[in-house]
A = this chain, B = another copy of it.
Amino acid sequence: MAAAAPPPPPSPAPEAPNDVPRGSTPRGHPLFARIRLALPTDVPHIHKLIHQMAVFERLTDQCIATEASLSSTLFTSPPFQSFTIFVLEASHTPFVEHLQYNNPAYPPITKVVNLDLPINDPDRDLFRSNGGVLGGDACVAGFVLFFPNYSTFLAKPGFYIEDLFVRECYRRKGLGKMLLSAVAKQAVKMGYGRVEWVVLDWNVNAIRFYEEMGAKILQEWRICRLTGDALNAYVNA
């Protein structure tokens, strides 16, 4: 297990000016956010996000993923049945619907965040998304990777979130919350019993954020990991 990268605590959403009726086009600097199922063509961006996450966690020595190894191990089953990735895209202009994203298993969800200042994304070109290629302004701002787990006590599946990551310039805008909520909502929709992930015990900001999201932090449990040579020693067990 790698880390569920701690999303930053969300800042309170700025209130709409009094003279703007509810539901109208936001003023200021609207940021259009979209969550959709990842496609194999997203792998180069996902790979870069995983690398940025490893840098954030100071665990680059453990990160040996390549685009090829990701491509050969992901997208092997229908969404939600095994490893599943939601990509978070951001754009300064509204998203245009593209057929390739209209997966009936998970129609994309969108949200508009009204910002005081426009986002200065130094890596915009690096993360320009398929939506961008098709004419839009969208780029990939983050992702969440999750898969089913199982509780024998509940006799129900759940979801385990392996990674949740938002690029630095998109943090503190509620986008981490949007990603986590999307997984939680999908779990409820499927009748699942739990959503779980892990957090570093010293990451108090992340812990506070998760508790605000309704999560309980289990203090007594420790993760046990068998890997590398210690695992390979079992080849003839």
Give me the interface of A with B, judged by CB distance under 8 Å. Answer: 1-4, 50, 53-54, 59, 62-66, 69-70, 73, 77, 81-83, 145, 147-158, 160, 162-163, 181-182, 184-185, 187-189, 193-202, 207, 210, 213-227, 230-237
Contact present for B73 and A150 (CB under 8 Å) = yes
- Known contacts A160-B160, A219-B222, A225-B196: A153-B214 contact under CB 8 Å: no
Partner of A181, one of B69, B157, B234: B234
* A184, chain B: closest CB distance, angstroms: 4
Contact B152 A162 (CB under 8 A): yes
**Contact (Cβ within 8 A) A153 B231:** no
Assess the B234–A153 pair: CB atoms within 8 A.
no
Which B-chain residue is minimally distant from A184 (CB atoms)?
A: B234
A147-B149, A216-B230 given; name 10 further pairs at CB < 8 Å: A1-B196, A3-B221, A59-B153, A64-B155, A73-B157, A150-B162, A196-B223, A200-B222, A214-B231, A215-B225
